[in-house]
Amino acid sequence: MVVVAKIGGSLLTSAHDYMKVVEKIKELAREDDVIVVVSAMKGVTSKLIETLSSENPERELREIFAKHISILEAVSPSPEKGIREMSKLLDEALNGIRRFKAGMIDGKDIVLSMGERLSIIILREALRRENIRGVSLEGGIAGIITDEEFGNAKPIMDECMRTIPSVLLPILGEETVPVVAGFTGVTRDGRITTLGRGGSDLTASLIASVLRVRLLLLYTDVPGIMTGDPSTVNHARTIPAVGLEEADAMARLRVKKFHPLTFMPIMRLKPRRMGIFIGTLDGRGTRVVRRRVPPPIKVVSPRGGEIVVIGHDPSFLLDIVKPEWKVSVVATEEPYAIVRPENATRKMEVLDAIHSAILKMIGG
Ligand code: ASP
Ligand code: MG
């Protein structure tokens, strides 16, 4: 059976990190055929965005590329082919900058796509070092066909359902690991697009849903979905399981760092038997499941002067909220509620109180 593993950029900072990912892929490949979706290295997409407004974009791009080449050399005993590919990409990136400066709409995405396009080369070579055959595929090559909203392109589902299997299934048949560049796609007429920040999540869930794989793994450096942001609440904890609708609400409301459309392909294509895991490479994290699981509210997050509370039964809040908190609760038909403190300065206090109630329900 097939597993899709997405490697988040937060996990990729060094040659050593790529080798750790290779170990994980080896482990997964003992049981399943593996498709890997890779993000850009940590911080690289943001740096690429900065080059667009830089005085000296060429120098900055060269620095970014030099760093990737040195990591490639560290993972690979024979890096020549990868280096050649990277130099071609550098020319393309410089051309992207020129197009962007000339006001052409596709210039920006050419530049932004580079982080993932470099990352797949490194991972492919890192796999090769361990005698695993990998093939690197840019999103568009892997069948991610999108509209022309550059910078925030949406996959065209009908087309992706044809193209993704036609590309990836034959590769799996050859016992080769496809290493797909997340975040990137292509328009019908062949221009590179990007899916918006965090887009590798969407790439992975789209491929997994279209192929109806056994398991979708979204690997990151945090142990899954937590009850709150550890920097804003006390004793934030990982929630062992959340419902798909809840996860979708977290993504769409940007309560968690997923791309807002991460769960869209799963909701639309309903690959019923697909398991979903979000968390660290060593297995700490959260499962996303089809059924409703306790507790009825799960996650709190500040948002402007308000508090967003995610959970399949947001009306449950009405039992928790105390009159002296002086808040109003807007429960919705969807799996979230908005809590408005009358006095915005009390927001963090109320947030922590709701969070404590969630911790109590989780127990332990
Ligand atoms: N590299 C892109 C970003 O930083 C996409 C991703 O990591 O999912 O937003
Ligand atoms: Mg991300």
**Ligand 1 atom closest to Cα of 200?**
8
Q: 197 in ligand 1 pocket by Cβ < 6 Å? A: yes
**CA 315 – ligand 2 centroid, Å:** 31
Centroid of ligand 2 to alpha carbon of 224 (angstroms): 12
Q: The domain 2-221: what is its CATH number?
A: 3.40.1160.10
Q: In which band, very low, low, confident or very high, does the pLDDT at 79 lie, cut at 50, 70 and 90?
A: very high
Q: Would the pLDDT of 182 be above 70?
A: yes
Residue 267, strand partner residues: none
Ligand 1 atom at minimal distance to the Cα of residue 9: 7
The residue whose CA is least distant from atom 8 of ligand 1 is 198
Sorted by where each begins, the domain ranges of the chain are 2-221, 299-361
Q: Which ligand is nearest to the CA of 219?
A: 2
pLDDT reading at 22 higher than 90: yes
Least confident among 270-274, 286-290, 321-325: 321-325
Ligand 2 centroid to 326 CA: how many Å?
36
Pocket test for ligand 1, best of 36, 45, 257 (most atoms within 8 A of CB): 45
Ligand with minimal distance to 38 CA:
1
* pLDDT of 344 above 90: no
pLDDT per residue over 228-266, tens digit each? 999 889 999 999 999 999 999 999 999 988 999 999 999
pTM over the 0.85 mark: yes
Residues in the chain: 364
Please compute the mean of the pLDDT values over residues 212-233 and round it to a whole number.
Answer: 96
* Residue 360 pLDDT > 80: yes
Kindly report the average pLDDT of the chain as a whole number: 96
Which listed ligand is nearest to 118 at the C-alpha?
1
Closest CA relative to residue 242, chosen from 203, 298, 190, 200: 298
Atom from ligand 1 closest to the CA of residue 199: 8
What pLDDT does residue 250 have?
A: 97
pLDDT category at 48 given cuts 50, 70, 90 is very high
| 101-133 confidence digits (pLDDT tens) | 999 999 999 999 999 999 999 999 999 999 999
Q: In the predicted model, is pLDDT for residue 181 greater than 70?
A: yes
Angle between helices 114-129 and 57-75 (to 10 degrees): 10
CA of 111 to the centre of ligand 1 (A): 13
Q: Is 363 a residue whose pLDDT tops 90? A: no
3-state DSSP of the chain: CEEEEEECHHHCCCHHHHHHHHHHHHHHHCCCEEEEEECCCCCHHHHHHHHHCCCCHHHHHHHHHHHHHHHHHHHCCCCHHHHHHHHHHHHHHHHHHHHHHCCCCCHHHHHHCHHHHHHHHHHHHHHHHCCCCEEEECCCCCCCEECCCCCCCCECHHHHHHHHHHHHHHHHHCCCEEEEECCEEEECCCCEEECCCCHHHHHHHHHHHHHCCCEEEEECCCCCCECCCCCCCCCCCECCEEEHHHHHHHHHCCCCCCCCCCCHHHHHHCCCCCEEEEECCCCCEEEEECCCCCCCCCEEEEECCEEEEECCCHHHHHHHCCHHHCEEEEECCCCEEEEEECCHHHHHHHHHHHHHHHHHHHCC
Report the nearest-CA residue for atom 6 of ligand 1.
Answer: 198
Q: Is the CB of 184 under 6 A from ligand 1?
A: no
Tell how far the Cα of 110 is from the centroid of ligand 1, in angstroms.
14
Q: Is the C-beta atom of 185 inside 6 A of ligand 1? A: no
Beta bridge partners of residue 301, listed in sequence order: 308
Q: Is 203 in the pocket of ligand 1 (CB under 6 A)?
A: no
Residue 364 has pLDDT above 70, yes or no: no
What is the structure's pLDDT at 23?
98
Asked whether residue 309 carries a pLDDT value surpassing 70, the answer given is: yes
Q: Tell me how far the alpha carbon of residue 71 lies from the centroid of ligand 2, in angstroms.
A: 21
